[in-house]
Amino acid sequence: MQATGIIVEYNPLHLGHLHHIKQTRKTTEADCIIAVMSGPFLQRGEPAIIDKWERTKTALEASVDLVVELPHLFAVQHGDYFSKGAVETLANLHVSSICFGSEQGTIEPFLTAHKTWEDKRDSFDSILTSFLEKGNSYPESSRLAYEAIGISEIDLSRPNNILGYSYVKAINRYAPSITPETITRVESDYHDETIEGTIASATSIRKNLHKYGEITKKASETLPTFTSKALQAYRDEKQVWHSLEIYFPLIQHLLWTSSPEELRMIQGVDEGLEHRLLKAIDVSSSFHDLMHTVKTKRYTWTRLQRLFIHLLTNIKKTDSRLLEKPVSYVRVLGMNDRGREYLSQHKKDFEVPVVTQLKQLEDPLFTLDLKAQKAYLYPLSGENRVDSYRREKMPPVFY
């Protein structure tokens, strides 16, 4: 069996994602589609609106064959580390290709751009440093540096092109036997905040859900029926859809009880930011207030959100060393019959543990996954919290 990989968050899974899955199967002619999915917290520094188990169920209902978890440490990072973790996880499962959605829609410009970057890498690094020293954010500095070395084949101001380019770089560096593929992204821009039509961004869908506290007609038109049911069932049972705002009391507590020295140990707290955080928390009555008080041109919204996730999950700078090491296991979240058959056929060939039970693995990277899952459950009631963590110790979802 041949497998292709996709890199997803499904926060939540919408009609644009269905298109991606369908076109991936058509483009790659794969026997098995494997999704590596972020767990409790996501790349832009946000909690998933519903837990990874419910999102896994929606992936399987959307015809993904096997869902595995992207280790938490890689899931909440900038594009290069996020891509490294995702690509290495899929490489551990011996996928032959990785297919991603992009505004560009064809793979050749990504390959040409990567060749340019490789030829001018030393120049790129020095140019990037110079833009950072001028006070630009990392994303803006990267975009300007790519322009400066002559990358013009793809528009690296578009969010999915940026992430897709990171995937191509990671494939070339960590898993060159994998073939990168891309399809045209049909949904709205990743950052769009309002729902327009039936193909909407996950950002706009979440914003609508949180604003109204229910699945509105407008939101339901952008979602498969099974996603709407999963969202409603989670809210009915857990009494919550997760957002950073509901973690604010815990963030406030952690900042109020931490010294500057302790905060400096947290990943992302650099350049004296600990003092800015401690001043800001004293005058902030909500997470929204806190973000607006701390944000500057250099400290982007996404960078700060990631920092607060690191604070919530107690990810320290010393943990960052694990980002440089290969992903050393694969955690299975769910599968259908095809996914089960694929694992059965290939299990003797895998070089790392492919685990379905917590007791099967002792790994420092996996320990961080468990810490993140516990932090994610903070907003739930006591009984729901215990029940939800108990689910962590149970077998994967079978569909």
- The response to whether 334 counts as a known ligand-binding position is no
333 belongs to an annotated ligand binding site: no
CA distances from residue 172 to 8, 47, 180, 212 in whole angstroms, order as listed: 20, 30, 9, 44
**Given the structure tokens 């992936």, which residue do they identify?**
59
Is 101 part of any known ligand binding site? yes
Q: Residue 61, annotated ligand binder?
A: no
Q: Is 9 annotated as a binding residue?
A: yes
The answer to whether 39 is annotated as binding is: no
What pLDDT was estimated at residue 299?
A: 86
Round to whole Å and give the CA distance between 73 and 76: 6
* pLDDT (0 to 100) of residue 178: 98
If you count them, how many residues does the chain have?
399
- Cα separation values, 290 from 252, 286, 299, Å: 9, 6, 13
How does pLDDT run along the chain (399 residues), one tens digit per residue?
999 999 999 999 999 999 999 999 999 999 999 999 999 999 999 999 999 999 999 999 999 999 999 999 999 999 999 999 999 999 999 999 999 999 999 999 999 999 999 899 888 989 999 998 888 888 888 889 988 998 888 998 898 999 999 999 999 999 999 999 999 987 655 455 577 767 888 999 999 999 999 999 999 999 999 999 999 999 999 999 999 999 999 999 999 999 999 999 999 999 899 999 999 999 999 999 999 999 987 888 999 999 999 999 999 999 999 999 999 999 999 999 999 999 999 999 999 999 988 776 789 999 999 999 999 999 999 889 999 999 998 999 999
Tell whether 354 is in a known binding site.
no
- Residue 383 counted as an annotated binding residue: no
**pTM for the whole thing?**
0.94
Residue 361, annotated ligand binder?
Answer: no
At which residue do the structure tokens 């705002």 appear? 245
The answer to whether the annotation marks 7 as part of a ligand binding site is yes
8 assigned to a ligand binding site: yes
18 is in an annotated binding site: yes
Residue 261 annotated as binding site:
no
Confirm or deny that 19 is annotated as ligand binding: yes
Q: Which pLDDT score is estimated for 169?
A: 96
Spatial separation of the C-alpha atoms in residues 43 and 191, rounded to whole Å: 13
20 is in an annotated binding site: yes
> What's the pLDDT at 187?
60
